[in-house]
Chain A
Amino acid sequence: MADIRVYFTKLGRLKYISHLDLQRAIARLLVRSELPIAYSEGFNPHPRLTITQPLSIYQEGERESFDFRLTEEIDSETVKSRLSQNAFSGMEILEVEVIVGKSASKSAIWRLELKTEMSAEEFSSAFKGEMQVTKRSKSGEKLVDIAPLVSLISAEKTDNGIVARIEAPAAGNNYLNPSYVVAFFGDRVSAKRVVRENIIF
């Protein structure tokens, strides 16, 4: 019995696939790989599988991860190659490791590829003040200042925009979807790509 964490990419056309659909696709991938995997109990057993952090539709991930359980010991290289052989396009299996005691994810590094006429300085300075956005939740809409949650790592000017890297909480009450950062700038920016580069545990 071993808990396995698999690091993978969700790139390209996979950005159009929702979290739930991705989960089903990974379950099928595990079945195709013919690894001895643990199943859930119950009448309709399915592979025990957790995607560490959901990714919204339209977002990509360069180093995502999911956990599952092996019922027999198999070396990580074999697991990796079996998964790779059965993966779908847009998903590359990066690394497979045995995990002992699950650690919660702390934060995530995001890369926002934005189309904008703003300068990098102008863009960066926004992170120094308050960043009020409307957050929607079950209890209704409210204005929240997201500035304390995000830190800007870098902002670089490109041909027709800015590539910004930010760090934001990946889980818990403070989880912040970077779409709020994009939303904060309103129609001054439009997101070409939103990529989660890494999840930090």
Chain B
Amino acid sequence: MIDYEKYAPLLAKVEKPGRYVGGEFRSEIPDPEKADLRVCFCFPDIYEIGMSNLGVKILTGALNQTGFISCERCYTPWPDMCKQLTENGVPLYALESGDPLNLFDIVAFTLQYELSYTNVLAMLKLARIPLLSSERGENDPIIIAGGPCAYNPEPLADFVDVFSIGEGEDALVELSTLIRDCKKNGIGREETLYRIAQLDGFYVPSLYSVTYNENGTIASFEPKRSNVPVSIRKRIISDLDNVYFPRKCSVPFIETVHDRVMLEVFRGCLRGCRFCQAGMVYRPYREKSPEVLNADAVESVANSGYSEISLTSLSISDYTHLRELIDKLLSWTDDKKVNLSLPSMRIDNFYEELLEKVSSVRKSGLTFAPEAGTQRLRDVINKNITEEEIITACEKAFDGGRNSLKLYFMNGLPTETDNDICGIAGLAQNIVDTYYSKKRFGGGRGVNVTVSVSCFVPKPFTPFQWCAQDSIEELERKQQLLKSEIKTKKISYKYHDARVSRIEAVFARGDRRLGSALLLAAERGMMLDGWDEFFSYEKWLEVFSDCGIDPAFYANRAFETDEILPWDFIDIGVTKEFMKREYAKAISEETTPDCRTKCSGCGAASLCNGKCVCNERGANNG
């Protein structure tokens, strides 16, 4: 039990002390004193965000049910708490036991977005764990990291001892078992790491050496020792129905971002949007059965008292058993006063029927993500949605009494011209015109179309991984161009800060030389870069220049298709050949069908014995 009284003087001086005391309902863990191995699972952002992450709930739950692990949690403290910890000489502690992180065997981080890297370092620093792997000794925890950003682990190579590549449920238990055995047998840190490197799906950066060409690109990337694999294949869970799912999650007191029961309906995505990393790295598409999902929901609600369930997956309309699942859920949720919230879905007849039939389905805002303003550019990015489909869906929604919707776009996409930018305004205008094309019920309210535009960030393991990001000046010029093209107050226009996207691009496509920049940023106290109030572009530019790093080399350079990419040694199943094919098709404005319509032989089938689960006909094609 946490001895929170010793933290009382600190907690008395912070804005939201509830973030730092744990004790939530169902947050009990196996007794740390009796466990063979102690793990602290860290989410490098604040409590409200970290507590909303389903992946963390799954992994901490999976570790805590092994019988030999006691796994706790920790989140990035807000600056007021950082100050209290530092000034009082108190190291960052885990929420359940209140013990400092440096007492644990393993400290794990999940990497959800590039801008959280500084939080990883800030947390290590607050915990008084040496930042550099090379400076950690026998008594320091082993620092591991996983999650979507671990597909390009290189920017954090100096700081993280072990990266877990792919889905972690089984992998982390295997890793923990190995670390426990090494610990029992008195095997030292170096040898332990060497053994971990030989497990499937783990990358130990210190066991690889990199050399560079004169132009700065990578000349070689090689293991330093025998038996260390040249390439690391991601792990996947093939049977989602039989993998651990946390039906007893802790229920936070503080309101979190997603404060509800979350159901993961499937993993992966059938569509192949060419800018989207999630769509590629989570291949192949794997579904959970409606029976299991319904049982997950029933128990989760009973155990938590939550009054809302949300389905969390990409492109939910692709789920084969959507109707069946929703019928099953609706058979009891109404009675229990539980709301069902659906993520943005395809607006089709089924959806309309659903909205009419049940009041308990929360009408989450109507959203579309055309991503690009013209059909030409939508073909380039392989976003298979036509203007006609959007207009028809809006028509239906307007007929149903709705009068507002949100559209998501990206600017700076490869091959984009001013014409494509103007197309965004044109599409939004057409939607407004559709609304006024006939007399609408409650017409006095008018229509509101929100256009939200982010900046394209080239991501590893996408067909656009080689593309340069537009310069800040160009992105900002396009943002202003679009602003001037919008002629009505019925359209509200929001756009992202291009400078944030540029820093994201640097780290997304970065290599291990960026370690010096992260280290310097940590020394300068930079953290919470995902928060507008703390992000400082100027400080980042200073850091880069002080380290002799040219951010444009990573963000604004078109990588050669034959150069060694920093993440080439990671094998996600989808081949580089496929990426090249898709890139070429993008340039020639050709689309690729979704996996259910036709298998495109991306290679992911090799992860499931050559027979891709998302397309039976895809056998041996990958």
> Is A45 an interface position by the 8 A CB rule?
yes
A32 lies within 8 A of B18 (CB): no
For residue A188, CB closer than 8 A to chain B, the reply is no
- Say yes or no: A18-B18 contact (C-beta < 8 A), given A25-B253, A44-B339, A88-B25: yes
Partner of B305, one of A17, A31, A39, A45: A31
Shortest CB–CB separation between residue A177 and chain B, in angstroms?
A: 16
A89 near B23 (CB under 8 angstroms)? yes
**Chain B contacts for A88, CB-based, 8 A:** 23-25, 251
Does chain A have a CB within 8 A of B188? no
In residues 1-59 of chain B, which contact A (Cβ within 8 Å)?
2, 4, 8, 11-12, 17-18, 20-25
Whether B305 pairs with A21 at a CB distance below 8 angstroms is no
Contact A21 B23 (CB under 8 A): no
Contact with A along B306-348 (1 / 0, CB 8 A): 1100000000000000000000000000001101000000000
Complex Cα–Cα for A105 and B18 (A): 28
**Residue of A12, A22, A25 touching B25 (CB-CB under 8 A):** A25
Measured between C-beta atoms, what is the minimum distance from A38 to chain B in Å?
A: 11
Q: Which residues of A contact B305 (CB under 8 A)?
A: 27-32, 86
Chain B residue at smallest Cβ distance from A89 = B23
Q: Is A126 part of the contact surface with B, judged by Cβ < 8 Å? A: no
Q: Are A13 and B4 in contact (CB under 8 A)?
A: yes
On chain B, the residues within 8 Å of A46 by CB distance are 307, 337
B257 to chain A, nearest CB (A): 15
Contact code string A69-111 (vs B, CB < 8 Å = 1, else 0): 0000000000000000010111000000000000000000000
- Which residue from A13, A24, A32 sits with its C-beta under 8 Å from B302? A32
**B359 touches A (CB below 8 Å):** yes
Q: For the complex, give the distance between the alpha carbons of A30 and B255 in Å.
A: 18
Q: Is the CB of B253 within 8 A of A32?
A: no
> B254 is contacted by which of A21, A44, A58 (Cβ under 8 Å)?
A21
The minimal Cβ–Cβ distance linking A41 to chain B, given in whole angstroms, is 12
Q: Judging by beta carbons under 8 Å apart, are A32 and B23 in contact?
A: no
- Within 1-59 of A, Cβ neighbours of B (below 8 Å) are at 12-14, 16-18, 21-22, 24-25, 27-32, 34, 39, 43-46, 57-58
Contact B304 A32 (CB under 8 A): yes
Please tell me if B471 contacts chain A, counting CB pairs below 8 Å.
Answer: no
CB–CB B12/A58 < 8 A? yes
Among the listed A57, A89, A192, which residue makes an inter-chain contact with B17, where contact means beta carbons less than 8 Å apart?
A57
Contacts of A16 in B (CB 8 A): 11, 17-18, 20-21
Q: Are A17 and B337 in contact (CB under 8 A)?
A: no
B residues less than 8 Å from A44 (CB atoms): 339
| B294 contacts chain A at the CB level, 8 A cutoff | no
Q: Whole-angstrom distance from the CB of A90 to the nearest CB of chain B?
A: 7
- The CA-CA distance from A17 to B17 in the complex, in Å, is 8
- With the chains together, A13 CA to B303 CA distance in Å? 21
Given A58-B12, A88-B24, A32–B303 Cβ distance below 8 Å?
A: yes
Q: Which residue of A lies closest to B250 (CB)?
A: A88
User: Is A90 a contact of B23 with CB atoms below 8 Å?
Assistant: yes
Nearest to A28 among chain B residues (CB) is: B305
Contact of B304 among A22, A28, A90, A192 (CB under 8 A): A28
Neighbouring A residues of B23 by C-beta, 8 Å:
12-14, 88-90
Contact with A along B179-210 (1 / 0, CB 8 A): 00000000000000000000000000000000
Max chain B C-beta neighbours (<10 A), residue from A16, A27, A46? A16
- On chain B, the residues within 8 Å of A18 by CB distance are 18
Contact A43 B359 (CB under 8 A): yes
Given A43-B359, A88-B24, A17-B253 contact (CB < 8 Å): yes
Name the prevailing secondary structure of the B interface residues.
loop
User: In the assembled complex, which residues on chain A have CB atoms less than 8 Å from the CB atom of B251?
Assistant: 25, 28, 88
Asked, given contacts A32-B305, A89-B23, whether A21 binds B253 with beta carbons under 8 Å apart, the answer is yes
Question: Could you tell me if A45 and B22 are in contact, using CB atoms closer than 8 angstroms?
Answer: no
Q: Is the CB of B22 within 8 A of A13?
A: yes
Shortest Cβ distance from A193 into B: residue? B8
CB-CB under 8 A from A29, the residues of chain B are 25, 305
Neighbouring B residues of A57 by C-beta, 8 Å: 17
With both beta carbons as reference points, the residue of chain B lying nearest to A16 in the complex is identified as B17
Task: List the A side residues contacting B8 at CB < 8 Å.
Answer: 192
Contact B304 A21 (CB under 8 A): no
Question: With A27-B305, A31-B305, A88-B25 in contact, do A21 and B255 touch (Cβ < 8 Å)?
Answer: yes
Q: Which residues of B contact A43 (CB under 8 A)?
A: 359
A64 CB to closest chain B CB, in angstroms? 15
Contacts of A24 in B (CB 8 A): 253, 255
The reply to whether B12 and A31 contact each other, CB–CB distance below 8 Å, is no
Distance from A132 Cβ to chain B, minimum over Cβ atoms (Å): 25
**Bound CA span A85–B254, Å:** 22
Q: How far is the CB of A135 from chain B (nearest CB, A)?
A: 21
Q: How far is the CA of A152 from the CA of B83 in the complex (A)?
A: 38
Distance of A25 Cα from B256 Cα, bound (Å) = 13
Chain A positions within 8 Å of B306 at CB level: 28, 31
A187: min CB distance to chain B, Å: 14
User: Whose C-beta in chain B lies nearest to the C-beta of A29?
Assistant: B305
Q: Find out whether the CB atom of A39 lies under 8 angstroms from the CB atom of B337.
A: yes
User: Quick one: closest B residue to A86, CB to CB?
Assistant: B305
Distance from A16 Cβ to chain B, minimum over Cβ atoms (Å) = 4
Which among A13, A18, A88, A90 has the highest number of chain B CB atoms within 10 Å? A13
- Which residue of B is nearest A27, CB measured? B305
Q: What A residues does B24 contact at CB under 8 A?
A: 88
B22, B24, B307, B339 interface centre (most CB from chain A within 10 Å): B307
Identify which of residues 249-267 in chain B touch chain A, using a CB-to-CB cut-off of 8 Å. 251, 253-255
Taking a contact as CB atoms under 8 Å apart, the answer to whether B339 and A17 are in contact is no
Interface residues of B in 289-304 (CB under 8 A from A): 302-304
Which of chain B's residues have a CB closer than 8 A to the CB of A86? Answer: 305
Residues of chain B contacted by A17 (CB below 8 angstroms) = 18, 253-254
With a cutoff of 8 Å between Cβ atoms, the chain A residues found around residue B25 in the complex are: 25, 28-29, 88-89
**Chain A hits for B22, CB < 8 A:** 13
User: Which of A22, A31, A39, A45 is in CB contact (< 8 Å) with B253?
Assistant: A22
The answer for the CA separation of A22 and B255 in the assembled complex, in Å, is 11
Q: Which of A12, A39, A46 has the most CB of B within 10 A?
A: A12
For residue A36, give the distance in angstroms from its CB to the closest CB of chain B: 11
B368-394 contacts to A, CB under 8 A, are none
Would B337 and A45 count as touching, CB distance under 8 A?
yes
Nearest 9 pairs of A and B residues by beta carbon: A28-B305, A31-B305, A32-B305, A16-B17, A13-B23, A88-B25, A21-B253, A13-B21, A17-B253
Q: What are 22 A-B pairs at a CB distance below 8 A?
A: A12-B4, A13-B22, A16-B17, A16-B18, A16-B20, A16-B21, A24-B253, A25-B253, A28-B251, A28-B306, A28-B307, A31-B305, A31-B306, A32-B303, A39-B337, A44-B339, A46-B307, A57-B17, A58-B17, A86-B305, A88-B23, A88-B25
| 10 further A-B pairs in the complex, CB-CB below 8 A; given A25-B251, A88-B23 | A13-B4, A13-B21, A16-B11, A16-B17, A16-B21, A18-B18, A25-B253, A27-B305, A28-B25, A31-B306
B: residues with CB less than 8 A from A are 2, 4, 8, 11-12, 17-18, 20-25, 251, 253-255, 302-307, 336-337, 339, 359
Q: Which residues of A are in contact with B by a Cβ distance under 8 Å?
A: 12-14, 16-18, 21-22, 24-25, 27-32, 34, 39, 43-46, 57-58, 86, 88-90, 192
